[in-house]
């Protein structure tokens, strides 16, 4: 998974995709892991495990980390145009009509 820029929609299929995206976002904001953990209300250990795709993390903790780093989790049907856009490189949401 390419987590190079946070302005792209990304398809997350597992922890191995999510972790690098979270780490990339943290680094874009020039946050050390301990500062990001404090900002998002989680332990450094939890944030490290999340960034490395290790172990399980409670959903409320994951959502807190995402929110604290300015990210969000979006759920929708696979056949929705926005969801289809995540399968293409450098995808952006389609224009609203």
Task: Give the model's pLDDT for residue 50.
Answer: 95
For 42-57, give one letter per residue: b (16+ CB within 10 A) or e.
beeebbbbbbeeeeeb
Mean pLDDT, rounded, of the chain: 84
Whether pTM exceeds 0.75: yes
pLDDT at 90 exceeding the cut of 60: no
| CATH 3.40.50.1010, domain 15-75, yes or no | no
39: tokens are 């900002």
Residue 82: pLDDT band with limits 50, 70, 90: confident
Which has the closest alpha carbon to 88: 10, 20, 3?
10
- According to the model, what pLDDT value does residue 94 have? 52
What is the helix, strand, coil percentage profile of the chain, to 5? Answer: 45, 0, 55
For residue 45, pLDDT over 90 is answered with: yes
Q: What is the number of residues in the chain? A: 97
- Angle separating helix axes 59-68 and 44-51, nearest 10 degrees: 90
- Would you state the pLDDT for residue 3? 46
């Amino acid at each position: 998974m390419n987590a190079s820029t946070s302005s792209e929609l990304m398809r997350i299929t597992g922890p191995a995709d999510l972790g690098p995206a979270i780490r990339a976002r943290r680094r874009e904001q020039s946050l050390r892991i301990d500062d990001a953990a404090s900002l998002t209300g989680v332990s450094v250990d939890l944030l490290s495990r999340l960034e490395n795709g290790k172990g399980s993390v409670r959903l409320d903790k994951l959502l807190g980390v995402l929110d604290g780093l300015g990210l969000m989790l979006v759920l929708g049907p696979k056949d929705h145009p926005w969801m289809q856009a995540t399968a293409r490189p450098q995808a952006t949401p389609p224009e609203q009509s």
